[in-house]
């Protein structure tokens, strides 16, 4: 699949911003704060690698499904 370079840098910008946003969400959840899904308003669940093979942040409905890398 060919990707337009301008599109690609747009994508990178976007993923960097959401990466920082996700890190913030993880921090909040780790201190026990409830973070809600932007779409359905359900509380998000943090899945750590110990809890789940697919670590990430997910809501019950599945509209938020963020894969995270815990390094």
30/63 with CB nearer Zn ion? 63
What does DSSP assign to residue 36? B
Q: Which of 21, 61, 65, 67 binds Zn ion (CB under 5 A)?
A: 61
Q: Which is nearer to Zn ion, 17 or 63 (CB)?
A: 63
Among 48, 63, 65, 67, binds Zn ion (CB under 5 A): 63
CB of 36 to Zn ion, least distance (A): 8
Contact 42, 60 (CB under 8 A): yes
Cα–Cα distances in angstroms (integers) from residue 9 to residues 1, 3, 22, in the given order? 16, 10, 20
């Amino acid at each position: 699949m060919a990707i337009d370079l301008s599109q690609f840098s747009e994508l990178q910008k976007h993923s960097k911003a959401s990466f920082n946003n996700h890190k913030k969400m993880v921090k909040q959840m780790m201190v026990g704060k409830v973070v809600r899904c932007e779409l359905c308003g359900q509380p998000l669940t943090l899945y750590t690698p110990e809890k789940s093979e697919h670590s990430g942040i997910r809501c019950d409905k599945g509209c938020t499904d963020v894969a995270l890398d815990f390094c």
